[in-house]
Chain A
Amino acid sequence: MLVLRDVGKTFSNGVTALGNVNLAIGAGDFVSLLGPSGCGKSTALRLVAGLSTPTTGTIDWRAGERPDRSSIGFVFQEPTLMPWASVLDNVWLPLRLRGMSRADAMPAIRQMIDRVGLAGFESAMPRELSGGMKMRVSIARGLVTKSRLLLMDEPFAALDEITRFRLNHDLLDLWQDEKFTVVFVTHSVFESVFLSNRIVVMAARPGRVFDELTVASGYPRDEAFRTSPEYAALCRDTSQVLVGAINAGADNDRG
């Protein structure tokens, strides 16, 4: 779908967030960017979203697969809902900004709210929802434009484990049904192994791709997968690579 070629990003304060990143993301992939704080995962995501431009290198989209901005969904670490708007109006927002009236957008909104399991909460205000439900609204808003690419920046990091597991499942269901591409930034080895078919491990100072792992296990993945020896082995391997990446970043720090 897209390729990052020698992409680097240096901020005006002199901090180099990304060194030299080469990364290809295929259509339909569920790619996790895994790494310690400061490895530029979030910066990479913002570059792909077009919220920021690379200092060096290019981001190439395969012909015909470049989504216009409208078909990129972005889910932040916080739910980032408008507190003054109901669930329905929050999900409506991306369509509204494209000039679609509420009535015209209604079928898509209702379907999306239903799809993330919030039917019946359309008129609830964000403050009335739990953390997990707010995140569901955020996902619905990211996908309501029939997004082909969903960028997620540590979306479940602030949730409790049980809620996180449920959202992991539901996200995978959505992904399998709708067949969009996901780039998922996370700190969690367990989450990245459970969700993705590819894990890109990143190292810090400067942010770069350290290694890449493929998770060959098929979908659908369920609770049985979470407790299987296969999952445990994958987590162990991934953890080892991550430790290597952390040390690599720390070495550079000392040097």
Chain B
Amino acid sequence: MTAAERATGSLVLDPEEARRLRAVRVERFGRWLLPLAIMISAIWLWDRICVWNDIPRYILPRPGEVLYTLYSDAGLLFSSLLVTLKITFLGLALAVAGGVGLAVLFAQSKWVEMSFFPFAIVLQVTPIVAIFPLINIYVDNQTAKLLLCAWIVAFFPILSNTTLGLNSVDRNLRDLFKLNGATRWQELIHLRLPAAMPYFLGGLKIAGGLSLIGAVVAEFVAGSAGQSSGLASRIIEAGYRLNAPRLFAALILISFTGILIFLLLSLISHLVLRRWHESALRPER
């Protein structure tokens, strides 16, 4: 009895289908197992390189020590993470409000879109690090500064995706709404916004990561002036003190936060779209 036959019970499979079934099962495990194996080997190699070359801890700490720092400095690091998270999510929320709001405005009138969209692009392509000194001069409130940065970086993908979505409505459905005497408002609520939902959620996934980057970059620039208490400022501080373990610990924390934000937004996207959109459907064949 082969593995495939055991797995399918009484079902008799020809060799081709049995091979396909095996491939599916191998892939299911491989998807998790392979990256995990690579990760573990890389960490092991990192540890060995430290030991073999006698690298001092202030240049490259061993992974175990980084992990220990993550534990021993937890109070400091996590309170900093909380500050960064607050900026990230507030920035993201503002980006959603601003991006969707502007997109809806654009959808109401071609003229508004033609007039203002280029400025949104200008805002997007100018590196945030270059803008920050200006923000530093004009904005007093520390939180407002950081928020503005995170917002500028995060709002564009939401704006551009949502605009695309609002304009990608089935022509026949628009005719149907027209035929039934729908008002602009009804068309927006019942047709354009639902149709734009998959596009918006795609933009949101990008914006989540960008918002974190925006918050950290802003803290970096602000933090070098010694005014911030987020994770980035911990990194700068640790860098000055040659406290490499803490530097690594903070870095790992930021990466994991980014991954968690992405997974969270992917989950939201899946839950919202799973009943109707192609992207959220399981393949049937």
Contact = CB atoms under 8 A, between A and B. Distances in A.
Q: Which of A49, A80, A96 has the largest number of chain B CB atoms within 10 A?
A: A80
Given A97-B186, A125-B276, A84 B197 contact: yes
A80 B172 contact: yes
Q: Which bracket fits the contact residues of A?
A: 20 to 34
Contacts of A127: 276, 281
B179 A80 contact: no
Contact of B180 (A83, A85, A97): A97
A119 interface: no
B73 interface: no
A69 B197 contact: no
Interface in B147-197: 170, 172-173, 175-182, 186, 190-191, 194-195, 197
Interface in B242-259: none
A76 interface: yes
Contact of A51 (B178, B190, B195): B178
A93 B190 contact: yes
Contact of B276 (A51, A74, A80, A83): A83
Given A80-B172, A80-B173, A82-B191, A94 B180 contact: yes
A72 B170 CA distance: 20
B275 A69 contact: no
A173 interface: no
Contacts of A97: 177, 180-182, 186, 190
A50 interface: yes
Contacts of B173: 80, 82
B277 interface: yes
A209 B275 CA distance: 46
A212 interface: no
Nearest to B272: A84
A74 B176 CA distance: 7
Nearest to B178: A51
The binding surface of chain B is classed by DSSP as helix
Contacts of A76: 172, 175-176
Nearest to A83: B276
A51 to B, nearest CB: 5
B180 A93 contact: yes
Interface in A47-68: 49-51
A10 to B, nearest CB: 20
A70 B180 contact: yes
A13 B190 CA distance: 32
Contact of A80 (B176, B181, B186): B176
Nearest to A51: B175
B179 A126 contact: no
Contacts of B190: 82, 93, 96-97
A78 interface: yes
A167 to B, nearest CB: 19
Nearest to B281: A127
29 contacts: A49-B175, A50-B179, A51-B178, A69-B179, A69-B181, A70-B180, A72-B179, A74-B179, A76-B172, A76-B176, A78-B172, A80-B170, A80-B172, A80-B176, A82-B190, A82-B191, A82-B194, A84-B277, A93-B180, A94-B180, A96-B190, A97-B177, A97-B180, A97-B186, A97-B190, A98-B180, A125-B275, A127-B276, A127-B281
The 6 closest A-B pairs by CB, nearest first: A80-B172, A97-B180, A76-B172, A84-B276, A84-B194, A97-B182
